[in-house]
Amino acid sequence: MDLINRALEVIEIIDMDPIDLLRAFFLLAAATTFSVSIPSALRARFLVYGPRATPTATSATESRDANSNPPSAPLLDYLATWQVPHSYFTQFYVASVLSSVFWAIQLVFRGNVFQFIATRLSKEHTEQSMTLTQVLICWILLAIQGSRRLWESYKFAKPSTSQMWVIHWILGLAFYLGAGVAIWIEGSATVLTRSLTLNDVSMSNAPTVRTFFCVPLFMIASGLQHDCHHFLFSLKKYTLPDHPLFRSVVCPHYGAECVIYLSLAILAAPPGQIVNKSMLACMGFVVVNLGITAHNTKDWYMKKFGKETVQDRWLMIPRIY
């Protein structure tokens, strides 16, 4: 709770609408990640991880002539040594599940943390609010996503010495905690003024067009992503995937992740809006982060298995990217 109190103090000091602050975080994180991916000196040190990573933190500079290195190379090499085990990815999904449980309690009982955030929203963000049914369905779907990924991270785990940059780990934790807020924050006004009733969860309620379209889309994308993860787990180490989903796409599981967040962004849209802008900003970070990782993966495949093996494959979604 002390960590939560500190976070609330920061929000109060910044004196910014929580929705605007949340969107700004996702967009700034996406922009920063994209900016770091452009210079090869930064990309090789900070964004390449797992089997795609070079053997040592400094190998990116060792492969070039010393005279071609920028003056900042020693500092960059030092910063690149700040690493944590790649297995810490599991903590992202632990954070996601715990966040879902925490916010469920806060929303149902209108807890102090929820009220602190909800009462600081501007009128602009409370005039159009998600329905309670929307909040409930979207919370359930995000909780399912986090729980599935947590289960997969344990079920499909393999012994590994891979590392990732500590900032990547911190940013990942912040993202999943932020997503846990983004999924309901644009329904704050409704949660403040209405209590959840059996009618809100009644199966006799006719599904909206959004629900009819987005829930199956979420489920299909989740199923495809699970199949991809299961197949990758079954492969021998550093083998080129030959599953049908991988034959035209380098990272179909990344594309599925983007579709999952897109379905949530559409499903969580307040009345009169096409998408939930907070979840859209959240999805923006997912697209940028996974897009860069998919690009690095394709480069790694080309170097290890030959350019001709993957050069004609899309990165994440066929005929789109």
* Three-state SS sequence of 57-106: CCHHHHCCCHHHCCCCHHHHHHHHCCEEEHHHHHHHHHHHHHHHHHHHHH
Taking the CA atoms of 294, 296, 302 and 307 in sequence, report the sign of the dihedral they define: positive
Percent of all residues in the chain with a pLDDT value above 90, rounded to a whole number: 54
**What is the rounded average pLDDT for all residues in the chain?**
86
pLDDT digits (tens, 9 = 90+) for 38-70: 777 677 777 776 666 654 334 444 444 444 566
Name the nearest CA neighbour of 257 among 140, 146, 151: 146
Q: Enter the tokens of residue 112.
A: 């102090």
**DSSP string covering 180-219:** HHHHHHTTHHHHHH----GGGG-TTSPPPHHHHHHHHHHH
Taking the CA atoms of 95, 101, 105 and 107 in sequence, report the sign of the dihedral they define: positive
Q: What share of the chain is helix, strand, coil (3-state, %, to 5)?
A: 70, 0, 25
For the ranges 7-21, 212-226, 234-248, the lowest mean pLDDT is seen at 7-21
Q: How many residues does the chain have?
A: 321
Rounded-to-integer distance, Cα 265 and Cα 242, Å: 32
pLDDT digits (tens, 9 = 90+) for 230-280: 998 888 776 888 888 898 999 999 999 999 999 999 999 999 999 999 999
Q: Mean of the pLDDT values across residues 174-187?
A: 97
